Structure 1
C-alpha cells in the first residue's frame, strides 16, 4: 500500500485506480467494530439464534433479521450514521414478535430488489410470507407444503416470481401478481436447499441440492434443467450427468456481471463456475471453509468494492469465523473471528459504507468495519503534544550563542 501511495504522490496512478486500491485495502483490514453494539432482540438460548439477515437494495438504510424463535426485527442504520466515531448502541426500529405470524424459526429473509417497502420471509412452518415493511402487515402467504430452506427474488426481472427451495426434489415458483403458484421445476433427486437467479438473464435460475448437483433452469420451459455442472469437467453441462460437490450443495451466489457462479457444500468446498462455458475454474481456497449446515441455506456474500476491482467472497463458517476470499485469484485473504462466537449463520454487507453484519447461533448481531485510517487525538493528547513541542522550541531558542 505504501508503494502505491508513493506512486500516487508522483502522479503515476489515476484517481480511479487509487480509489479502487484504497477500497480493496480497507476491505482486507476489516475488523470487529469496538464502539458499535447491536442489542440482542431474538431471545435467549437455542431459540435466540439469528438465522437470516438482509439489507435493503435501494437506500441501504434498513436491515431485517430473523431468529430461531420466529421473530423478525427491522433495524434503521440512522443512529450508526449520525455517530460514526462515538460509542453507539443500535436498537430495533420495529419488530414482528415471535409466534405472531410464523409459528417456527425463520430460515431466510429478502428485501424486494426494487423497493424497500416489501420483504419476504420463509420458515420451518412450511410458509413463505410477503410483508409490507411500513406496517409489518402480512400481504401474501404461500403454503409451500414442507420446510422452506431458502427463497430468492430475481434482481432484474419484470416478472414477480419467487423461487422457493424446500424439503423436496423440486423447486416451487410463487407468483406475487396472482398470489398463487405457477409451476414446479423437477429434476433433482434430493432435497433442494438453495436457489439463486441469474443477474443478467430474467429467466435463468440456479439451484443446489442434497444430491450434490448444481443445476441451471430456464423457467419458461417445463422440461428438466438445461445444464448440470461437473466438478471434474469430464462431462458437458448439457449432458446432465455431472456432480458438483461431494456433499449437499447448500449455497449459491452469482457475481454481479453474471460471469461466474459460486457454490458451496458440506464437503467444505467453494467452487467457482465459469458461466460462459459451464466449467469448474478449479479455484482451490485451501482448508478455510467449515460448512456442514443442512437445516437451511448458507449464503456466500460476493463483494466487488468498485468497478474493475477484485471480487471477494465473505463466507460464514461453522467455527464462528468469517472467511474473506479473493474469488478469481483463488486465494484466502483474511479470517474475521472472535473467541465468543458460535456458528455464524448469515452475513450481510452494506454497500457504500464498508460495513458488514453477521448473525450467529448465540443470538448476536455483530458489526465489522475497516480499521480507521487515522485515529483522532483526544484534546488532552493534542495539548500534551503542543507542550512537548513548546519545550523543545524554548530549549533551542534559549541557548546562549558564543563565538570563538
Structure 2
C-alpha cells in the first residue's frame, strides 16, 4: 500500500499542479501506479519512470541568457554546471573569455543574469577560444579553463581572476577533474602530442604523464565510481582506460568489434591498432552510476560500453550527423528508467533511450551547429549552445504547460476565494 510520503517525492514542480500534470503524463507511467499498488513495482522504480516521461518531452522556452556588449560578438564553446547546487552555469567563450550565469534567477527583463564575466582580450583571459571549462567538483569555489595556448588556468569565481596556472609543453585539447576524488586532486589534461598530463592542484606541478595515444588525446573523463580510473579518447580512433596509480601502460583498449583474445593477440603481433571508432573520438560521457560509458566520434556513431568489461553493447542508434571535428558535449539524464542521452547533431539535439537506442525526441531551435548540451538534474532543464551565438533553455513540456495555465484552469485545480469589494458584506438574503 502506498503512503502519502510516496506522492510527495514525485518529481512535480509544485503540489498544486499535481492534478493537472497527472492528466498529461504518459499512459505507461500512469499504469505503473496499479503495479505499485499490487507490489509488482517499487516506489523508486515508478518515480524513475515518471522522471523519464518528463525528461523526454523537452521543448525550447523563451528564457534567454543576458548578453553583455563585450560578449555579443562571441559564442559559447564549452559549458559546465556546478554539481553542488546546480545553479551556476560556467561558459567558455570563443574569444577567450569566461562567463558565469545564475540559472535559478532572472532579471527584470526575464533574462538569466551574468554573475561573473571576463571578456576576451582582457587581462587573465585566454588568447584563443576556450576549449574546456569545469567547476571544482567539491564546491563552486574554484573552476578551471584550458585552450590551445598551452595554459590550464585555475580561477577564483568570486574575484573572476586566475589564482594559478599550469604551463604545459603542448596544446591542451581537453581536461577533467574526478567527481569523486578524496585521495588526490589531479587534473587530467589531454595534449595534442598524445600524452595525458596529470596536474596536481595541491602542489601546483605536473606529477607524471600517460603515454599511449598515437595522436592527440582529444577528450578526457574520470570514472564516477573509482577515483583512480581514467578514460581517454583520441584522434587515433582509440579509447583507453588508465589506472593513474600504475606506471605501466593503459589498462584496456576498447574494441568496437569485441574481438576474441586470439584476434587481439594477432593484432599486437602485426602491430594493428585496436580502435573504438572509425574516426577521431569527439565525446566521452559516463552514466551517473559509472557502469556505462558513452562515446561519440566524427564517424557519426554513438556507442555504449560496459565500463567494467570494456565490451561494446552493440546498441543500434539511428544515424547521427556531425559537422564538428572538435569536441562535442553530450549529456545523460539522472535517476531515470531508462536513462536518456542528449546528443547534438548539426543544428538539432537528439534524445535516445540508453539501452534500446530508440529515438524519443528531436529538439529543434538552433540555427547553426550545436556545440554541446548540459543537463540540470534538479529541475530537468537543458542548456544548449552553438555557433549561432545562442544559448537556449529547454524545459519538459509538462512544466511549460503548467506555467501557461489559464485562470479558470487554476481555479479547477486549486479553488480560491474571490476577493470582496469594500462595500460587500458576509450577509446573504434569499430575497436579494
Q: 1:315·1:323 contact (CA, 8 Å) conserved in 2?
A: yes
The answer for the alignment partner of 2:79 in structure 1 is 53
The answer for the alignment partner of 2:186 in structure 1 is 161
- CA shift at 1:6, angstroms? 5.2
The answer for the alignment partner of 2:359 in structure 1 is 332
The answer for the alignment partner of 2:283 in structure 1 is 251
Q: Deviations over 1:344-372 (max 9, x none)?
A: 11211111111110111021111001013
Pairing of 1:3-402 with structure 2 (within 5 A):
3-5=28-30, 8=33, 11-12=37-38, 15-34=43-62, 36-41=63-68, 43-45=71-73, 48-80=74-106, 88-100=110-122, 101=124, 102-158=126-182, 159-236=184-261, 241-287=273-319, 289-295=320-326, 297-306=327-336, 309-317=337-345, 319-338=346-365, 340-372=366-398, 374-375=401-402, 376-379=404-407
1:38–1:183 CA distance, 2 compared to 1 (3 A): same
Q: Give the structure-2-normalised TM-score.
A: 0.80
Instruction: Tell me, in whole angstroms, the C-alpha distance in 2 between the residues paired with 1:191 and 1:17.
Output: 42
Instruction: Tell me, in whole angstroms, the C-alpha distance in 1 between the residues paired with 2:260 and 2:94.
Output: 41
Q: Which moved more, 1:36-45 or 1:130-139?
A: 36-45
Question: What is the aligned residue count?
Answer: 370
SS at structure 1 position matched to 2:328: coil
Instruction: Tell me, in whole angstroms, the C-alpha distance in 1 between the residues paired with 2:220 and 2:303.
Output: 16
- CA shift at 1:292, angstroms? 4.1
The answer for the alignment partner of 1:394 in structure 2 is none
Structure 2 residues not aligned, in runs of 5+: 1-25, 412-432
SS at structure 1 position matched to 2:210: strand
The answer for the alignment partner of 2:420 in structure 1 is none
Q: Deviations over 1:29-78 (max 9, x none)?
A: 111013x1212346345xx1210111101011111111101111111123
1:169–1:235 CA distance, 2 compared to 1 (3 A): farther
- CA shift at 1:16, angstroms? 3.3
Instruction: Tell me, in whole angstroms, the C-alpha distance in 1 between the residues paired with 2:247 and 2:31.
Output: 59
Q: 1:226·1:238 contact (CA, 8 Å) conserved in 2?
A: no
Instruction: Tell me, in whole angstroms, the C-alpha distance in 2 between the residues paired with 1:352 and 1:89.
Output: 20
- CA shift at 1:111, angstroms? 0.5
Instruction: Tell me, in whole angstroms, the C-alpha distance in 1 between the residues paired with 2:211 and 2:369.
Output: 33
SS at structure 1 position matched to 2:134: strand
The answer for the alignment partner of 2:421 in structure 1 is none
Instruction: Tell me, in whole angstroms, the C-alpha distance in 2 between the residues paired with 1:266 and 1:166.
Output: 19
1:233–1:160 CA distance, 2 compared to 1 (3 A): same
- CA shift at 1:380, angstroms? 7.8
Instruction: Tell me, in whole angstroms, the C-alpha distance in 2 between the residues paired with 1:141 and 1:331.
Output: 43
- CA shift at 1:324, angstroms? 0.9
Question: Aligned-pair RMSD on alpha carbons?
Answer: 2.4
- CA shift at 1:263, angstroms? 1.0
Instruction: Tell me, in whole angstroms, the C-alpha distance in 1 between the residues paired with 2:405 and 2:325.
Output: 49
1:15–1:322 CA distance, 2 compared to 1 (3 A): same
Q: 2:32·2:46 contact (CA, 8 Å) conserved in 1?
A: no
Q: 2:29·2:53 contact (CA, 8 Å) conserved in 1?
A: no
Q: Which moved more, 1:4-13 or 1:182-191?
A: 4-13
Instruction: Tell me, in whole angstroms, the C-alpha distance in 1 between the residues paired with 2:94 and 2:170.
Output: 17
Q: 2:284·2:296 contact (CA, 8 Å) conserved in 1?
A: yes
Instruction: Tell me, in whole angstroms, the C-alpha distance in 1 between the residues paired with 2:164 and 2:170.
Output: 17
